[in-house]
Amino acid sequence: MTLLFPVVGYYYGNLSYYQCSKCGTVVKSEQMPSTYGCPARGSHQWHKLGRVGDKNYMCRKCGTLLECDSYPSTYGCPASGSHQWHQLGKVGNSVYQCRKCGVFVNNERTPSTYGCPQGGSHQWHKLTR
Ligand SMILES: [Zn+2]
Ligand SMILES: [Zn+2]
Ligand SMILES: [Zn+2]
């Protein structure tokens, strides 16, 4: 092995997603963010969800959308209990919006319809050419 860093980690600058399970705030950071000043109450309770990457994942319970390199951690869903992640597809230059939950996704092609937070399936509409 001659590579010092995995290619994906190098490209994305080793950024990871952190989410507070109390207020739901998502932060991209190289290290655990400050716990000071959670809008919910007291201190943020950060959970590391995964490394920033090239696949879209959405939790059907809290509606959080992440661009991660692999299946994110299920720990600390702000809605309650564990996240239920669904992979929507590969990150791309087309923008899609679900007319049920209202989320915007930058995806390579029509995202997976599975796991809409509003219940049942996403109904995607392409907003870009
Ligand atoms: Zn918080
Ligand atoms: Zn969740
Ligand atoms: Zn939806």
Tell me the residue type at 94: S
Distance 120 CA to ligand 3 centre (A): 8
Q: What is the mean pLDDT of residues 60-79?
A: 97
Does a structural domain hold residue 2?
no
Residue 37 CA to residue 86 CA, distance in Å, equals 30
Q: Is residue 89 part of a domain?
A: yes
Q: Is residue 40 part of a domain?
A: yes
* 1 within a domain of the structure (yes/no): no
Question: What b-and-e string marks burial along 119-128, b requiring 16 or more CB atoms within 10 Å of the CB?
Answer: eeebebeeee
The C-alpha atoms of residue 33 and residue 103 are separated, in whole angstroms, by: 25
Domain residue limits at 80: 7-126
Q: Give the global pTM.
A: 0.88
**Considering its fold, how many domains does the chain have in total?**
1
Ligand 3: centre distance to CA 37 (Å): 31
Is residue 105, in this structure, part of any structural domain at all? yes
pLDDT above 90 (res 18): yes
For residue 59, give the H/E element and its range. strand 46-59
**pLDDT tens figures, 87-123:** 999 999 999 999 999 999 999 999 999 999 999 999 9
- pLDDT at residue 44 greater than cutoff 70: yes
CA of 4 to the centre of ligand 1 (A): 34
Residue 76 in any domain: the answer is yes
Query: Ligand 2 center to residue 77 CA distance, Å?
Result: 4
- At 28, which helix (H) or strand (E)? strand 26-29
